Structure 1
Amino acid sequence: MTFASVYPMYVAKVQKNGRTKEELHEVIEWLTGFDTRKLRDLIEKKVTFEEFFRDASLHPNARLITGV
């Protein structure tokens, strides 16, 4: 599964919850270290989730994300 195929669903979900695409990008950048340019490049290349996270520099506090 590619990140590009799921990304529009992430955008729709955050917008449904009253947030913006820019805020989503801030969270992704915090988590992965990917800036907007790099994120756009990964989407265009249609990288898989495995490739996406393999190339990421996960934030040291990422383990604190609980989904709650």
Structure 2
Amino acid sequence: MIIPFWILLTPLYNREDPALFGMPFFYWFQFVGIAIGVACTTLVYLGTRNKPATAPPSEPADVDDLDGGNAR
């Protein structure tokens, strides 16, 4: 998921040339960045949607076990 963060490097695309269909590089590069971000998010979702969530290593403590004021 770190790949979409390359769009935050503004000096990388803060220019007008090369233009694509009359659109300056600054704008169409951002559109490409959005498409890459969506593709990365989709790949991560598809890769992890069938994996079960991990259970905690042990059952959570009972409230009576947490109460330190009662001597048994």
Which structure has more helix as a fraction of its residues?
Answer: 1
> Which of 1 and 2 has higher RCO (CA within 8 Å, sep 6+)?
1
TM-score of the superposed pair, with normalisation by structure 1 = 0.28
Highest Rg: 1 or 2?
A: 2
